[in-house]
């Protein structure tokens, strides 16, 4: 008689949690790096080609639909909160801290969907924060006035505003606010977070529900 050999294992061993976390951090870091470089590189290229806002006419790529033009945005997305660039810079720093805490201690790093979504959001935040802090080194080249006619910026003042350059419209029927790649990354990341919150069940909650469903149920009957 020959001894029967144990059946061969068909499933590959699961990666340890620490190794999975390291891989997720690498993916997160690459998304942040590539997104930030794409945003800042595109801003640099367009502003060098078209000059500062108002210096050259828009570069029309698709007539009546798409053009490239340089503008400054001292507010948030879509021009909200115009003139409060310093406030949005502080909020951006707070958001960055909160996201890193969520990834490290809130265990968001264990969810692939959240890793991608937060990577896009952080890349968008960093791209626009770079501009709001004035790290691009640009200066106002003309007088900018408030709505009441008072001077808002003098020529030579440092520009602490987001550089926008993508203009999407449809003739005179539709006109989307000028935006940049960082804005697009932020919108995509936030939409992914909304989908995750409403449609995707978090792994921890799913695991907890599965554990409860496998627990033996006991019934208590009154003694007669």
DSSP string, 117-178: HHHHHHHHHHHHHHHHTTTT--B--S-EE-TTS-EEE-TTPBP-SEEEEEEEEETTTEEPPP
Angle between helices 112-132 and 181-198 (to 10 degrees): 150
What one-character DSSP code corresponds to residue 102?
H
Which H or E run includes 59? Answer: strand 59-62
Give the CA distances from residue 18 to residues 23, 101, 108, in Å, rounded to whole numbers and listed in that order: 9, 17, 14
Angle between helices 17-50 and 181-198 (to 10 degrees): 150
As a whole number of angstroms, the distance between CA 136 and CA 182 comes to: 15
What one-character DSSP code corresponds to residue 212?
H
Active site members: 164, 183
As a whole number of angstroms, the distance between CA 128 and CA 160 comes to: 10
Closest to 55 in 3D by CA, of 70, 65, 43: 70
């Amino acid at each position: 008689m020959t001894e029967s050999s144990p059946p061969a294992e068909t499933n590959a061993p699961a990666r340890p949690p620490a190794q999975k976390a390291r891989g997720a951090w690498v993916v997160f870091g690459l998304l942040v790096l590539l997104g930030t470089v794409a945003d800042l590189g595109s801003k640099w290229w367009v502003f060098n080609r078209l000059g500062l806002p108002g210096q050259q006419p828009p570069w029309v790529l698709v007539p009546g639909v798409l053009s490239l033009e340089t503008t400054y945005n001292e507010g948030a997305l879509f021009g909200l909160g115009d003139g409060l660039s310093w406030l949005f810079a502080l909020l951006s720093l707070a958001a960055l801290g909160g996201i890193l805490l969520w990834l490290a201690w809130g265990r968001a790093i264990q969810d692939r969907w959240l890793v991608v979504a937060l990577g896009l959001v952080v890349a968008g935040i960093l791209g626009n924060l770079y501009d709001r802090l004035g790290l691009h080194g640009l200066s106002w080249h003309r007088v900018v006035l408030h709505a009441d006619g008072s001077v808002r910026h003098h020529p030579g003042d440092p520009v602490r505003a987001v550089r926008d350059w993508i203009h999407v419209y449809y003739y005179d029927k539709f006109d989307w606010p000028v935006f940049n790649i960082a804005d697009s990354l932020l919108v995509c990341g936030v939409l992914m977070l909304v989908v995750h919150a409403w449609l995707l069940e978090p792994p921890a909650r799913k695991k907890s529900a599965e554990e409860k469903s496998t627990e033996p149920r006991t019934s208590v009957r009154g003694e007669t």
